[in-house]
Structure 1
């Protein structure tokens, strides 16, 4: 099964909210490069299909985190399969149509060579997490905890006021769980340097 097939299967199996079909139609349309886009310009997932792969990795990491006994029995973090799929699979929709193929010069063995790269050009500079919430909300209604989870999925690594991040994590634990899953996927599963 390809990553695209797996994404669509999870999406159709887990997400049934009003408007979700229209959002999936958009993701699959010629107006969206979600399935082909990279996840970044030069770091994690900086290749075609990187955004899709990252979204699936975050989904897997979030499922794993939320399945832990301590998380369920001590912290009482129990969320629907739909909420988990929504926040994990859609947290980075803000990256759709933002990456363009380009070339950069790199010095290798004393010689300058041109290598393919991606350049970031955002035509809707609405922020990161908030832009994803905005895009999703154009198709379907998010629960408050889902919206905060997506908005603050960058955690303390983002440009947000640290007080707001901490408050969001305390008030909406799904935000902390999603941020943890996002960091695990980014820094352990997708990092270009091996930690393991």
Structure 2
């Protein structure tokens, strides 16, 4: 069939052109090859109809196949998009749950830490009070010792000033007598 078309185009291409230049209306049917043109077009239509029909049918099949493929890809993409949207919504829900749980946990930790801080503060206050009491007791004991030492020093100085030699002999004899009685009682 392609041989026929090739031959027809070759014949048409070899036709001599008119010797006149320019365009003009020629009413002579034989000179204008109107009959030849009608025959060629009829022959082309008759012989090329199956070729064109097959060509158009193949083209239609290819287009329909491309449309079906595109439609399938569209459906797959739509399903994947819907699945991704569902997963995104699920992730948002889980993220909200995690945020809520973390707030609760943070609040519990805050309360726990506040309790620990309160206990530590109370313990430190108690230790401070115990330390103050201990230091007060220590200071009071030190003051007592100093008062007693000063009182003894003063009493000793006063007794030294009041005791004379004769009084000392009497106190010594009295003490020796008391000591002698104690020794005699123990025998």
- Give 1 or 2: higher helix fraction: 2
| TM class by smaller structure | under 0.3
- Give 1 or 2: higher strand fraction: 1
- TM-score calculated relative to the size of structure 1: 0.16
- TM-score calculated relative to the size of structure 2: 0.16
* Larger Rg over CA atoms: 2
